[in-house]
Amino acid sequence: MMAVSGRRAWPAWANALTVAGLLVGGVVLPLFGWIISAVALWLAPTWKPVEKVLGTLILPGGLLGAVYLIAAPSHVGPCNGAAQALPGGGQVITQAQCTGGGSHLLALIVLTLLLVAPLASASYLAWACRRRVAPGASTREQPQPA
Which of 12, 46, 71 is closest to 125 using CA atoms?
46
pLDDT of residue 91: 63
pLDDT of residue 140: 47
Instruction: Flag whether the pTM goes above 0.75.
Output: no
Average pLDDT over residues 102-122: 88
CA dihedral 91, 94, 97, 101 (to 10 degrees): 80
Other Cβ atoms closer than 10 A to 23: 25
Average pLDDT over residues 11-19: 92
Average pLDDT over residues 123-131: 92
Average pLDDT over residues 85-109: 69
Average pLDDT over residues 54-63: 90
Distances (CA, A) of 133 to 5, 43, 44, 55: 13, 16, 13, 18
pLDDT of residue 9: 73
pLDDT of residue 1: 46
pLDDT of residue 123: 94
Share of the chain above pLDDT 90, in %: 40
Strands 91-98 and 79-85: antiparallel
